[in-house]
Amino acid sequence: MLFWVEAAVAISQIQSLADLGDIVFRNQLVLLRFYVACGQQSDQQNSVLAALQNSGLVDQIVEIDVEASIELAFKFFIKSVPTLVLLQGNEVLGYADGEQSETALASWVRSF
C-alpha cells in the first residue's frame, strides 16, 4: 500500500515485521515514521518528509501506525508519537522525537 504525500513522492506504509523484513533486506537507508492515525498529521511535516526523500538523503520513508502495528512499535521501543527511526539494513542508527524542520531533519540524517 502506498500513501501519497505529494506528487511523485511515495511513502510506504507497513503493518508487520514481514513487511519490514522486505525493506531491511535491501540494506537501504530508511526512515521509519511512527504515528497515530487518529492524531493530526501535519501538512508541514508531510512536506518536510517529501523534501527529505526528494533530496536523496534517504532511500525510503515508511510510515507505521502504532495502533495498527503494535508489534512494530514494541520492537522499536516507541514510547511517544511521532517518532522517527533511521535504519540502515537491520541496524538502528538513531531516534528523533516529534516533528522536525526540514533543516533539522536533514542535519540529523547527515550525522549518520
Q: For residue range 79-103, list pLDDT tens digits in order.
A: 999 999 999 988 999 999 988 899 9
Chain centroid to Cα 66, Å, comes to 12
Query: pLDDT by residue (tens digit) across 42-59?
Result: 667 778 888 888 888 999
Domains (range + CATH), the chain: 2-110 (3.40.30.10)
**Within a 10 A sphere around the Cβ of 48, how many other Cβ atoms?**
20
pLDDT digits (tens, 9 = 90+) for 6-39: 333 456 788 788 877 877 778 889 999 998 887 6
3-class DSSP state for residue 35? Answer: strand
In the prediction, which pLDDT does 53 show? 85
Q: Beta 60-65 vs 9-13: how paired, if at all? A: parallel
- Give the three cell numbers for residue 9: 513522492
